[in-house]
Amino acid sequence: MSDSDGAGDRAGGQSDGSEDDRVEGAPELPADRDAVRDALVDWYEADHREFPWRRTEDPYEILVSEVMSQQTQLDRVVDAWEDFLDEWPTAAALADADRADVVAFWSDHSLGYNNRAKYLHEAAGQVESEYGGTFPAEPDELSELMGVGPYTANAVASFAFNNGDAVVDTNVKRVLYRAFDVPDDDDAFERVASQLMPAGESRVWNNAIMELGGVACGKKPRCDEAGCPWREWCHAYQTGDFTAPDVPEQPSFEGSRRQFRGRIVRLLGEHDEMELDALGHRIRVDYAPDGEHGREWLRGLVDDLDDDGLIEADDGEGGVVVSLRR
């Protein structure tokens, strides 16, 4: 489930990462794509928002969550989703319900367009009458259900059956645009999303990359606060440009710790190693070893990056030497 309006498009199948798959106008993706994938999945599995629909693989329950989340904040969906399933716990129960009751529930819970309630009711009827009470597992078949577009069909296939393609919603576009400098083009987003997703892992991958966009790479980025796992490769983190298709103006960044952390990572990418004071003079013009923004301030940034596994700081006889963690 996405934090966006649910209007994203479904990407194609996974790529083998060959040179022919490169997206025109975008830099080449990191050579070690497995490291990129593992970093994101590990980050997600270590800690993520515990929405109840993430604990089920029931396609009916997941479809309800996807339809409810369209243009509705996820925190508001939780109570409505639980109440809805208490009232109509299965597709069969919903199909047997009076449509007026379903629409009234939708309105009472302020879930937006009431047509979605009507379509969800009709989709449940289709599952019972056309599919013998068993949800189809393929995105193309799921798209035949009333009110279920390509994005929602792919989401249900991914989260219920682990059988989907790479989800591309507003959050995912923002992540790919910032992290890998992907051009603002739907075909480009879909191709890169497809290249990145590990084959046969659509459930965890799509949850993880949407979580990244919702928690760490929102309109106002929280790279360090949320421990973004892609900082090592991220174009925006290294350049300080956090604009995106849905963020036309740069979020407040000047003078922030995030800005200087990004400068450190970028500089260390250009040098095998740097002595602490040399690094300080390169990342800010007013650096003074014993000043307000001196060694103590810089060492705090370095230690944070070291704790995050991005760099290494070695205390030698000649002082502290910093390098990227390999």
Annotated catalytic residues are: 66
Between the alpha carbon of residue 244 and those of residues 29, 235, 270, 277, 323, the distances in Å are 18, 12, 26, 34, 30
Long-range CB contact pairs, 238-246, < 8 A, 24+: 238/262, 238/265, 238/266, 238/269, 239/266, 242/178, 244/173, 244/174, 244/177, 244/178, 244/219, 245/170, 245/173, 245/174, 245/177, 245/184, 246/170, 246/173, 246/174, 246/219
Separation between Cα atoms, residue 264 and residue 322, nearest integer Å: 9
SS3 161: helix
What end-to-end distance do the CA atoms of the chain give, in Å?
34
Task: Determine how β-strand 274-275 pairs with β-strand 311-316.
Answer: unpaired
Separation between Cα atoms, residue 238 and residue 221, nearest integer Å: 13
Residue among 154, 58, 70, 144 at smallest CA distance from 106? 70
Between the alpha carbon of residue 40 and those of residues 87, 212, 319, the distances in Å are 37, 8, 34
Within 8 A by CB and 6+ apart from 141, the residues are none
Give kind and range of the element (H or E) at residue 313: strand 311-316
